[in-house]
Structure 1
Amino acid sequence: MRHLVVGTAGHVDHGKTALIKALNGFEGDTLGEEKKRGITIDLSFSHMQDQNTNIAFVDVPGHEKLIKNMIAGAFGFDATLVVIDAREGVMPQTNEHLEILNLLKVPYIIIALTKCDLVSQEKINDRVSEIKTYIDTFAHLKLKAIVPVSIYLPKSIALLKEELFGLPIVQKKSNGLFRYYVDRAFSLPGIGTVVTGTILDGEVKAGDKVFVAEQNQELIVRNIQVHEKDVPCAYTSQRAALNLQNPKQTLSRGLLLTTKGYIKGFTQIDVWFDSISGQKIEHNTQMMIFIGTKQIEVKVLLYEEDAQIRGFAKLQFGQKIYTVFNEPFILSLSGRVVAGGMVLNPVNDPIKKRLKLPLLKSLAKSDFSAAFKILVTMHKRGFGLISSNQRFGIGHEKALLLAKEMEHIFIDEKGLVLYDISVKRELEEKIMDIYKKNKYAMLSAKSLCLKETWASETLISDILEKLSKENRLLLDNGIYRDPNIDVKDVQTVIQTKIFSMLLDEGVTPKAPYNIYDALDIDRKMGDRVLKKLTSAKKVKRLQHNLFVPFESLIQLMTHLQQIIKNEGYIDIALFKVYYPNLSRKYLIAYLEYLDTYPTIRKEGLKRVFI
């Protein structure tokens, strides 16, 4: 079954709602206020289908003050059925709707020339010619057909149905990432929270977890309905109602549901904009943006102040907004649509203008290879491809394929990170400096990652392998060492150094990992040395990361017993008086060790002699 989302648009009173009822029997104006005023206020939804195709209709308002609802509906359309009264022709709202559809690049337009039974055939012919000429003025609109109709002429309705069912499937660019804007949210007795919307990309199954981006909450999809029927799964371009399990925060229109971990929010993004009818946008203008079903205020900052009709701009928001590459939007000022465009850079990178414009120009052409080069150059400590879905609208596999075509970069396929090749030389020098300063350094790729936290283990491993091949380092049981030193001597030296450091620190020893880092020793090797020192009764392990030389420990225990003899007891407070530099962690550990002495008894929080 093919699934299409078709919007109905046009001037007020040109017959959209009546036409939909003639097509499928659905009466869209069901809200009391809609019935009372005789116009469509909010988005109405219905569908019709034949053996092969299901068409979901989104009937959007035509009244000029309700233009924001029209914009909300236009996102996700595969085609639009535009109604034009044969008697009146193109009217102001018709024009505004078509301007919006053109900005959003809705693929196909079918014109329903309504109320044709009230005009002559000559008038109909004139309208058809007039409309064709008019549609040609829009760069992104494809006119599929103009069908003269009347709700009182069944044959005309049948012809319109034939055109609608004959709409081609639009192959939308997809990376499989589930995205869904909420256009309605409500609660039903015995069912709970239900949201409706159009699946813009990916799919959702009953039992899946969906992430409400703006609220940072993950919810389970209990049930899915498509056109009032329970289904196990809903797909791209389907309108779906989702029953969500126990949201902690109230859901509302404009929220984005997606897959957790793929889309981050930012307070500013970069875009390409194009204005309607040559209207100018001034730099630093406060406007209203419509994106998906979301409507919020935005400040527009032009990258080139002389490009006020079309060009690149930065959009600044008062809250985080969750967008993806090539996502369409509309800008309005004082309630009137001024411009629209596409999101180019949905991730806020701290890039200087001299790099930002080349990046945006590359993204505008979908030249991701050029964009990669700029981003890798800018992100000296690694550019992550984990965000490729959001940044470029492509999956990780395709992003890696593009990266492999590039020169002068290192690719960490496992970590999905790209590094400029110059970083390898810089890191190689840092690693060799460690061994020059400490000839007994014994490090692995993992331990070096702890020193250079920005570098991935894959990158460091590649550098260490190169140094090993050049005989500048020697790989010995997973550890890299200076090839010119005696292996037996290394073990002795390391054990001596660790024990010496512990003796120097006395009863306030550093955590083992800090000792290893200070001595340039791999953690696994350090753990083995500490285990040997413990077995040899040189060191006592009091807690997971607390190792104390026996010599220091016995001296402390002797002093604590002397305090008990003089004071009659010892507790944390009194212990702190004598040892003000000891933290609570040490105080508790030493008192618990004191409890192992046969001459000591614990009374409440105090220790006394038996």
Structure 2
Amino acid sequence: MAGGGQRAGVPSGRPRRGAARARGSGSPSDGAGLDGDTRVRLAPARRPGAPPPSAADRSSPDGSPAPDAPADGRGAALAARGETQRSTESGVKHLVVGTAGHIDHGKSALVRALTGIDPDRLREEKARGITIDLGFARYQEGATGLAFVDVPGHERFVRNMLAGVSGIDSVVLVVAADESVMPQTREHFDICRLLDVADGVVALTKADLVDAETIELVRLEVSELVAGSFLQGAPVVPVSSRTGEGLDSLRRVLAELADGAAGRRDDGIPRLPIDRAFSMKGFGTVVTGTLVSGRIDRDADLFLLPGARRVKVRGLEVHGTAQPSAHAGQRAAINLAGVGVDDLRRGDTLTVAGGLLATRRIDARVSLLDDARALRYGARVRFHQGTTEVMARVALGALRSPEDGDVGGGTGGAPLFPGTLDPGSSAFARLHLERPAALTRGDRFVLRAYSPPLTIGGGVVLDPDPPRGRLRSAAGAGRLRRLDRMDGDGLRQAVDLRVDEAGGAGVTAEDLAPRVGLTQSAVTKVLGALVAGRAVTAADNRFFATERVISARAMLLDAVTAYHRKAPLEPGLPREMARSGLGTLAGPELFDHVAEALATEGVLAAGRHLALSSHRVVLSEEEGRLKDRLAARFREEGLSPPDAVSLPELLGADTEAIDRMIALLVREGILERLGPLLFHRDVLDVVRTEVGALKASAPAGETARVDIAWFKSRFGITRKYAIPLLEHLDRARITRRVGTGRIVV
């Protein structure tokens, strides 16, 4: 299956099944939850000032709520609604906090001191004294629950750091007081800015190793680093994990952040990016991750993306406790049926059917860091979103001015399409992913160079499924500029744009949902508002831009009017000819909607033919005489009507005029076609009446019968006319063929 980078918990790409099974050999009742990690039994002694581990900590192997996986939790479709319902548990407000900072600056030690839980869970981490993969820990104080995501600081493990920090609510930027700002401090801070982390705090660790003057110098260097960013003016708290200095102050700051933080919506699309997957004895496949949006219930049917594999939730734990459901912002361990651990990888996403798109092509806004190297058109980069890492090619579009959010222009205001994007610049781009990834509008991502793998920039997904078309054109630049400006009422605009781009084919709410990052019910509400505002028109379950409907209406009326001019004696434009004539301007649903609307308004008569209500067949004097002569001739000839080939000579008229009048007589029901023959309706009425009367005149208990010989003799005709007439009587259900004869029914 396609998905993110290396499997969770595998520092060097080696399979971890054996380790997972060994770790998961117990059961929840003997101390290991579904997370399959018995680390709590091995937890180190408490650091000074740290609170004792709670019961939830002891039963929650990974320390419970962990990071947000995809970055869409901040600034994507759900947050853009402006609603701030936070997932709570028994009135507790949870905050997901990520650590960031250089290697050996004491991130894990700080988490351990704050929570009493060691976030380093791998043997190699404990042996080497460095964090390699994500670690999780939590603690609760009063009405505040803090879930820590501890990330590795070494430059070799930035990919793992990205998987953890991409969806956090707040960050603790850790800077060692004895070393100050270092390279990974800057890179981690840049990543937090690129992912639009909203707030945080700076922790100056190892404060017990330096004097007050050094603390102030480091504080100044940190201030220079964060100037103009989300951390400008944030608290800077000196702490010591060894002595406990400053830990209470840091806890108070974190509690204040939790009080002021906006929450995640429960009613969004269920979306859980996987950061760990393992097999546990007695349970089978277990995955862990943070529910970015929506909710997941026990026994729910879900899909794994990419790959659209159907799975079922057998059971789930939230914060180490079995629960009937998990809500947005909570970390969950989910026991899955229908998939093996070898079929999973970090970056796979659990969602519902139709919830998200597995895409390989996205349109985005891309910005480079000031100190990054230039990015050339077609460059191969590492694309990180949530827990996913995938290689991608970058096709640069129009240059964008970050100052005013407009497309950078050249001479005369035309958009510029650079071959290379300079450091500190921003542009629109189309990213071609080498493997599918589950993405939606508003997802934030980070770009790293292919080699050496340094962070160079990032951006936001504007369209997870862009239409085919030229990116480097005025129209392409205009479209992306429109998408980029969709803030505030952006969801409504995004839906409106998608409906417009669907053209004459229209689009359903089900098709729109994964493309705009909303549930189907939410899309339906937005569409309802657009319909009420007359920007969009509904036709059954499809939606069309009203301007498109107006254009289709005008074109259809023009086509019918032109047909009347061309063929005034015809009843109207054949319906299928009209449908094909509109081409791509109107699909079948839009065509039927417009035709029926015009009929309801009394403008058109809409049946097998489309005609203006004012249309009348008007014959010239000569045409009227020819029509009357034809009708009289067929009545006079009776059941041996004239051959059409002989009519021009018999009537002294040209073939084309005769054909037009015959077609008119047939439409009016005066003549009836029986195969290649034409009969006057009065003549056929006589035959139908006389044969039908045979049933009443038959002796009691007997069936009236008709055969070819009797029919020919009775009406004085040859077999040439008798056979078509008898078959006509069969179709009219006056007779029914039985063997070589017929009975009157």
TM-score (norm 2): 0.61
* Greater Cα shift, 124-133 or 431-440: 431-440
Match of 2:553 in 1: 424
Cα offset, 1:422, TM superposition? 1.1
Cα offset, 1:428, TM superposition? 4.8
Cα distance in structure 1, aligned partners of 2:147 and 2:307: 29
Match of 2:430 in 1: 314
Cα distance in structure 2, aligned partners of 1:215 and 1:180: 15
Cα distance in structure 1, aligned partners of 2:729 and 2:675: 15
CA contact (8 A) 2:441 2:464 kept: yes
CA contact (8 A) 1:286 1:297 kept: yes
Match of 1:356 in 2: 476
Cα offset, 1:409, TM superposition? 5.3
Cα offset, 1:390, TM superposition? 3.5
CA contact (8 A) 2:291 2:328 kept: yes
Cα distance in structure 2, aligned partners of 1:312 and 1:247: 38
Aligned match for 2:296, one of 204, 208, 214: 204
Q: 1:13 to 1:130 in 2, by over 3 A?
A: same
Q: Does 1:215 align with 2:307?
A: yes
Aligned match for 1:179, one of 271, 282, 285: 271
Q: 1:263 to 1:485 in 2, by over 3 A?
A: farther
Cα distance in structure 2, aligned partners of 1:82 and 1:42: 18
**CA-to-partner distance for each residue in 1:182-222, whole Å, 9 max, x for gaps?**
11111111101111111111111112121112121121111
Q: Does 1:299 align with 2:393?
A: yes
Cα offset, 1:535, TM superposition? 13
Q: 1:471 to 1:99 in 2, by over 3 A?
A: closer
Aligned-CA RMSD value? 3.9
Cα distance in structure 2, aligned partners of 1:496 and 1:171: 75
* Greater Cα shift, 407-416 or 432-441: 432-441
Aligned match for 1:289, one of 383, 393, 403: 383
Q: 1:409 to 1:27 in 2, by over 3 A?
A: closer
Match of 1:381 in 2: 504
Q: Does 1:163 align with 2:253?
A: yes
Cα offset, 1:440, TM superposition? 8.9
Cα distance in structure 2, aligned partners of 1:26 and 1:293: 23
Q: Does 1:115 align with 2:244?
A: no
Cα distance in structure 2, aligned partners of 1:471 and 1:103: 57
SS in 1 for 2:113: helix
SS in 2 for 1:265: strand
Cα offset, 1:165, TM superposition? 2.0
SS in 2 for 1:384: coil
Q: Does 1:45 align with 2:136?
A: yes
Match of 2:602 in 1: 470
CA contact (8 A) 1:15 1:83 kept: yes
Unaligned runs of 5+ in 1: 502-532, 541-548, 556-610
Aligned match for 1:70, one of 158, 161, 165: 161
CA contact (8 A) 1:221 1:244 kept: yes
Q: 1:24 to 1:535 in 2, by over 3 A?
A: farther
SS in 2 for 1:343: strand
Cα offset, 1:108, TM superposition? 1.1
Cα distance in structure 2, aligned partners of 1:217 and 1:535: 58
Q: Which amino acid aligns with 2:335?
A: N
* Greater Cα shift, 295-304 or 344-353: 344-353
Cα offset, 1:343, TM superposition? 0.5
Q: Which amino acid aligns with 2:277?
A: A
CA contact (8 A) 1:7 1:77 kept: yes
Q: Which amino acid aligns with 1:362?
A: R
Match of 2:72 in 1: none
Cα offset, 1:379, TM superposition? 3.8
* Greater Cα shift, 461-470 or 7-16: 461-470
* Greater Cα shift, 54-63 or 428-437: 428-437
For the pair shown, the structure with the greater C-alpha radius of gyration is 2
Match of 1:460 in 2: 592
Q: 1:452 to 1:232 in 2, by over 3 A?
A: farther
Match of 1:231 in 2: 323
Cα distance in structure 1, aligned partners of 2:474 and 2:429: 14
SS in 1 for 2:124: helix
Cα offset, 1:129, TM superposition? 3.2
**CA-to-partner distance for each residue in 1:481-527, whole Å, 9 max, x for gaps?**
997899xx999979978x859xxxxxxxxxxxxxxxxxxxxxxxxxx
CA contact (8 A) 1:211 1:259 kept: yes
Q: Does 1:257 align with 2:380?
A: no
Q: 1:376 to 1:89 in 2, by over 3 A?
A: same
Q: 1:424 to 1:266 in 2, by over 3 A?
A: farther
Cα offset, 1:325, TM superposition? 0.7
Q: 1:441 to 1:15 in 2, by over 3 A?
A: same
Q: 1:535 to 1:104 in 2, by over 3 A?
A: farther
Q: 1:132 to 1:440 in 2, by over 3 A?
A: closer
Q: Does 1:59 align with 2:150?
A: yes
SS in 2 for 1:182: strand
Q: Which amino acid aligns with 1:460?
A: D
Cα distance in structure 2, aligned partners of 1:242 and 1:428: 58
Match of 1:274 in 2: 367
CA contact (8 A) 1:351 1:378 kept: no
Cα distance in structure 1, aligned partners of 2:298 and 2:119: 28
Match of 1:342 in 2: 460
Cα distance in structure 1, aligned partners of 2:244 and 2:435: 51
Cα offset, 1:56, TM superposition? 1.5
Q: 1:108 to 1:409 in 2, by over 3 A?
A: closer
Cα offset, 1:3, TM superposition? 2.1
Q: Which amino acid aligns with 1:107?
A: A
TM-score (norm 1): 0.73
Aligned match for 2:515, one of 386, 391, 400: 391
Q: Which amino acid aligns with 2:479?
A: L
CA contact (8 A) 2:310 2:338 kept: no
Q: Which amino acid aligns with 2:191?
A: I
Identical-residue share of aligned pairs (%): 29
Cα offset, 1:425, TM superposition? 2.4
Cα distance in structure 2, aligned partners of 1:494 and 1:105: 78
Q: Does 1:324 align with 2:440?
A: yes
How many positions carry a matched residue from both structures? 507
Cα distance in structure 1, aligned partners of 2:306 and 2:282: 27
Q: 1:174 to 1:277 in 2, by over 3 A?
A: farther
**CA-to-partner distance for each residue in 1:260-306, whole Å, 9 max, x for gaps?**
11323332111111111242211110111111111111000111215
Cα distance in structure 2, aligned partners of 1:496 and 1:49: 89
CA contact (8 A) 1:112 1:149 kept: yes
Cα distance in structure 1, aligned partners of 2:145 and 2:304: 28
Match of 2:113 in 1: 22
CA contact (8 A) 2:561 2:612 kept: no
Q: Which amino acid aligns with 1:129?
A: L
Q: Which amino acid aligns with 2:307?
A: Q
Cα distance in structure 1, aligned partners of 2:727 and 2:315: 59
Q: Which amino acid aligns with 2:338?
A: N
Cα offset, 1:125, TM superposition? 2.8
Cα distance in structure 2, aligned partners of 1:34 and 1:269: 37
Match of 1:439 in 2: 571
Cα distance in structure 1, aligned partners of 2:671 and 2:252: 85
Match of 2:237 in 1: 147
Cα distance in structure 2, aligned partners of 1:136 and 1:413: 54
Q: 1:475 to 1:539 in 2, by over 3 A?
A: closer
Q: Which amino acid aligns with 1:461?
A: H
CA contact (8 A) 2:318 2:333 kept: yes
SS in 1 for 2:171: strand
